[in-house]
Amino acid sequence: MLVAAAVCPCPPLLVPEVAAGAAPELDAARDACLDAVGVLAAARPDLLVVVGPGDKPSGSGEHPTVGPYPPGAHGSFRGIGVDLDVTLGHAPDGDTTAGRPLPQSLTVGAWLLGRAHWTGAPVEGLALLQTADPEDCAEAGRAVAGRADRVALLVMGDGSACRTLKAPGYLDDRAAAFDARATEALGSADLDAIAALDATLAHELKAAGRAPWQLLGGAARDAGLAGRLLYEDVPYGVGYTVAAWS
């Protein structure tokens, strides 16, 4: 059963070593993310699953997930020029296999847990196709929630990338309204509003968080969790939301 969740953005710029001189611009977002992870720790889960968008492996089928990633899976920021590696929790004793590298979203999530000095429950990762059907996402969420008596989720994902002329997706007049709906739903744990987020529109607005958010919505059905909005802003023209559910 889901007992807590944290919703965080997943840009590599959240990592100070990546942001370099621009790092202070996201200090408030980092602090909010750490506060959200603190809510997860306070819930004392038996299992923590980090969920985020991922790329579809070549030759894979149409299943909405492109994970899972086991405890101890490795991620790196070397691909964007930063000599920094992270690990998703801790591998079981004696297990030295690295497996597939983490996608970017889960790499940022692993970094965040390291920053928070996570020492609680075992940590696993799960990546979703950004084009996954909303109901498939919700079904995957229900399956994750049934993995243990007390499950927590760290849900990594950004809103639209089309809020300004210099945004990665350029300016789209629909983006502000989409982000407002998503932020309100995430901040209030409104499961119906999360389920109603338009997958096609989210894809057009490059909102990578839509599928992970809808997995969270499925996982939280019948859990009775309340939401709290900790941060919202649009640095670099991308919608970032931080929320905690407990």
For the stretch 147-195, pLDDT in tens is: 999 999 999 999 999 999 999 999 999 999 999 999 999 999 999 999 9
> Phi and psi of 216, rounded to 5°?
-60, -45
Residue 239 · residue 158 · CB < 8 Å: yes
Percent composition of the chain: helix, strand, coil (DSSP 3-state, to 5): 40, 20, 40
Question: What pLDDT is stored for residue 92 in this prediction?
Answer: 76
Residue 201, φ and ψ in degrees, nearest 5: -65, -40
In the predicted model, is pLDDT for residue 58 greater than 50?
no
pLDDT of residue 94: 52
Q: How far is it, in rounded angstroms, from Cα 116 to Cα 119?
A: 9
Give the tens place of pLDDT for each residue, 194-231: 999 999 999 999 999 999 999 999 999 999 999 999 99
Greater confidence, 83 or 59? Answer: 83
Q: What is the three-class DSSP state of 10?
A: coil
What single-letter DSSP state applies at residue 109? H
Classify strands 2-8 and 151-156 as parallel, antiparallel or unpaired. parallel
pTM: 0.94
Type and span of the H or E element at 202: helix 199-204
The pair phi, psi for residue 17, each rounded to 5°, is -65, -30
Indicate the helix (H) or strand (E) that contains 7.
strand 2-8
Q: By C-alpha distance, which of 217, 84, 193 is closest to 144?
A: 217
Contact (CB, 8 A) for 183 and 242: no
Task: Select from 109, 117, 119, 105 the least CA-distant residue to 88.
Answer: 109
User: CB under 8 Å to 32, separation ≥6 — which residues?
Assistant: 8, 230, 231, 242
Is residue 215 within 8 A of residue 144, CB to CB? The reply is yes
Find out whether 220 and 195 touch, Cβ atoms under 8 Å. Answer: no
Q: d(Cα 216, Cα 236) in Å, to the nearest integer? A: 26
pLDDT of 59 strictly over 50? no
